[in-house]
Structure 1
Amino acid sequence: MSSHSPQGQPQSQLCTVQVLGGGSAGSTAHVRSLAAGLVARGVRATVCAPADLDPLYDFTGAGAVFVPVPRRGDPMSVAALRAACADADLVHAHGLHAAVRASLALAGRGTRPAGRRTPLVVTWHSRGHAEGARAPVLRLLERRVARAAAVVLGTSSELVDRARSRGARDARLAPIAFPPPSHTLTPGSDDPDRLCHKARAELGAVDRPLLMAVGSLDRHRGYGTLLDATHAWRRLDPVPLLVVAGEGPERAALQRRIDAEDLPVRLLGRRDDIPELLAAADIALLPSRWESRSVLAHEALHAGVPLVATAVGGVPELVGDAAELVPYGDAAALATTVAELLADPERRERLKTKGLAQAASWPTEDETVAQILSVYDELAQPYAH
């Protein structure tokens, strides 16, 4: 029996619950896309996530039932999640902490009718970062989640291997899709060049190269290395301007360095016009210690903006030869690569062409939903209602 017959008429509605812990922008956007795709196929989708995410991502507008569940892992939050999963045929958790809470909620439910346990699918969107005494705790949580899941979906081959090493019974590659960036055009202002000029003027980069990085201001994002690289760029004429869009715990420390060393860098904070700013940039920068399916890489290649990124995690698999890759933490390599690109318009144009071709090869949102739904079909048949 299927909830999505070839004629598109539901025969028996599959009920799924999508669980988000707090979620990165990438995982949250993926859940929104997945929920919309499931609903369009006659599948019931309930999204359990912190209350502040629904106004931002409009899960209800996608046709999903939204249940606010705090990020905390206390008994009350787990109980709320357990209640939301009461009628679920399948629960899909996104991220490590969401998966831990989902496994706790399902463990307290016992078996469904006919002795069936509700299957748990877990998508690993990224890799946790922990040092010192926290590292063994992280490994323990990863093992618990990997072994509790019927299927672990990794967004990169490295994450699939990691899940298997943690004891996953079934781990599969499942690249996720993000919608291509769209530019918001004001009436009468549909000229992309005019929009780019306006963005560059606002940032103070009309007559100088514009470099852009996007992401939360956390230690593992590699912004310290990025600031180190700007010392070399100050010798260029004109001096490039680096802008960083994002917010996070490292902002104050980064700003102190920028001020103390008089670096040509602006921290923009959170912005809701990232696609427009990125389209105006000469080069996008991704200096992270680790990434899987980077949202910035997606948007840069879709927009035809040359990308310089660290050769870590799932980045090489994602971009192929359509970006310049440098070692993590190597400020000299990063600085040299950017300077050479700025001096070589033909090389930047080749990267733009390769980037657009690479982006066209990525799975679409529709293909992503179809792949995940095939996993659901394996696990949730026959549906018990």
Structure 2
Amino acid sequence: MNVEAFDGKRVFLVLGTSTGGVGAHVASLAEGLAAADARVTVCGPAATEELFGFTAKGARFVPVEISAGLDPVTDARATRRLRKALRGPGGSTAVDLVHAHGMRAGLIARAARPVGVPLVVTWHNVLMATGTKGRVLGAAETLVARGADMSLCVSDDLVARVLRLGGQDVRFAPIPAPPLPPATRTAAEVRAELQAGDRPLVLAIGRLHPQKGHDVLIDAAAALADRDPKPLFLIAGEGPQREELTERVNRTGAPVRLLGHRADIADLLAAADIVASTSEWEGYPLFAQEALRSGTPLVATRVGGVPAVTGDAALLVPAGDAAAVTAAVGKLLDDPAERERLAKTGLAKGATLPTVEDGLAQVRAVYRELTGA
């Protein structure tokens, strides 16, 4: 990777709980910054190091248990832990810049950072909570937006939101998907493992969380269960909704398998006939970039930054509309020519998307601007 040297600048990357895109982005960023001679420390839950291997990317790792939800006791403990990590011997400052990923990490970093140290916050998700919880989280969002020296937002709607919250310097910063490793098995071998026979495969990738709208996909799958051959819907990901979604699959009789966390996404994409996403919101989704670059026809909800990623290279449907998902998937199953068209336009669109090097260059420029390096 051709990068300008950072001459030992001390950069702390802070993240909360993650099993997907945020952690993968931080790992990619840590690797690129370390290659540019930055002294990179990643602070986050111990489970993120196990999953993403930040130390193997050239970073130091300090466990800081930042919870997924607001918890005064846990937050106070995390703040103290991060503050200690950011201090050197005798209380001296051991950091040149703090870059937090997500609102929860931003809240802890805002409280812990030494005076005068620049704080960058990347906003990966929109706040979807309502009621009392929504008001509390909204107040926390405002603190983070106004406390950050710079906010990087993964979609245009997030840029507008952070500006409304009072963000000082707010910029669009797409997060490129790292290239997937080559598939290690043929489509036939993957189908054999899944015992799929000649059934069409519809693949969804994402954690089992309400934001991902997997309940809508399950309902669409149930509506398509009478087709011959019956399509098989695969959901690759893990999360807190597993029990609830399993119950929904059993109750509806939907032809859906919950695969859990998978490390063979390239293999699954190569075997899939269609990729589907029914998220309530997405920023600059990795799954969409991966689907386009693999040439797999994509059905996705028209939310957040999805249209900016896909352009006209996907069938976009309204969020929360199982009937629209059913119609879109059914259309592609019935129309090989349309699948071929989307495969070709997807490959062309994928070739124009920002690369990991592009994303790293933007972040490096931000760091230099804030540190004067």
TM-score by structure 2 length?
0.92
Counterpart residue type for residue 362 of structure 2: Q
Instruction: Specify the alignment match of 2:297 in structure 1.
Output: 306
CA distance in structure 1 between the partners assigned to 2:202 and 2:4 by the alignment? 47
Counterpart residue type for residue 177 of structure 1: P
CA distance in structure 2 between the partners assigned to 1:238 and 1:9 by the alignment? 56
* Unmatched 5+ stretches in structure 2: 68-73, 88-93
Does residue 126 of structure 1 match 2:125? Answer: yes
Instruction: Specify the alignment match of 1:141 in structure 2.
Output: 140
Q: CA deviation at 1:9?
A: 5.7
1:12-91 alignment, distance < 5 Å: 12-72=7-67, 73-86=74-87, 87-91=94-98
TM-score by structure 1 length?
0.89
Does residue 250 of structure 1 match 2:241? Answer: yes
Worse-superposed segment, 291-300 or 319-328: 291-300
Q: CA deviation at 1:264?
A: 1.3
CA distance in structure 2 between the partners assigned to 1:335 and 1:344 by the alignment? 14
Q: 1:123 to 1:24 in 2, by over 3 A?
A: farther
| 1:169-220 deviations in Å (ceiling 9; x for gaps) | 11001111121212353xxxxxx6xx21111122222211111112122222
Query: Aligned match of 1:97 in 100, 104, 112?
Result: 104
Worse-superposed segment, 176-185 or 298-307: 176-185
| 1:12-38 deviations in Å (ceiling 9; x for gaps) | 421111001113511111111111111
Instruction: Specify the alignment match of 2:71 in structure 1.
Output: none
1:255-266 alignment, distance < 5 Å: 255-266=246-257
Counterpart residue type for residue 286 of structure 1: S
Q: 1:325 to 1:169 in 2, by over 3 A?
A: same
Counterpart residue type for residue 84 of structure 2: A
CA distance in structure 2 between the partners assigned to 1:7 and 1:40 by the alignment? 8
Instruction: Specify the alignment match of 1:293 in structure 2.
Output: 284
Counterpart residue type for residue 171 of structure 1: V
Q: CA deviation at 1:253?
A: 2.3
Worse-superposed segment, 170-179 or 200-209: 200-209
Q: CA deviation at 1:327?
A: 0.5
Counterpart residue type for residue 144 of structure 2: V
RMSD: 1.7
Q: CA deviation at 1:74?
A: 3.3
CA distance in structure 2 between the partners assigned to 1:210 and 1:164 by the alignment? 42
Q: 1:258 to 1:119 in 2, by over 3 A?
A: same
CA distance in structure 2 between the partners assigned to 1:9 and 1:275 by the alignment? 33
Cα contact 1:126–1:292 (8 A) shared by 2: yes
1:181-196 alignment, distance < 5 Å: 181-185=180-184, 195-196=186-187
Does residue 200 of structure 1 match 2:207? Answer: no
2:351 alignment partner, SS class:
helix
| 1:268-319 deviations in Å (ceiling 9; x for gaps) | 2222222211221100110010011212112211211111000011111111
CA distance in structure 2 between the partners assigned to 1:264 and 1:8 by the alignment? 51
1:171-190 alignment, distance < 5 Å: 171-185=170-184
* Unmatched 5+ stretches in structure 1: 1-5, 112-116, 186-191
CA distance in structure 2 between the partners assigned to 1:297 and 1:7 by the alignment? 27
CA distance in structure 2 between the partners assigned to 1:369 and 1:197 by the alignment? 37
Query: Aligned match of 2:226 in 210, 235, 245?
Result: 235
* Number of residue pairs matched by the alignment: 360
| Structure of greater Rg | 1
| 1:148-172 deviations in Å (ceiling 9; x for gaps) | 0000000111111111011101100
CA distance in structure 1 between the partners assigned to 2:3 and 2:66 by the alignment? 40
Counterpart residue type for residue 333 of structure 1: A
Query: Aligned match of 1:225 in 193, 207, 216?
Result: 216
Cα contact 2:120–2:151 (8 A) shared by 1: yes
Cα contact 2:224–2:230 (8 A) shared by 1: yes
Q: CA deviation at 1:55?
A: 2.7
CA distance in structure 2 between the partners assigned to 1:349 and 1:232 by the alignment? 24
CA distance in structure 2 between the partners assigned to 1:8 and 1:151 by the alignment? 22
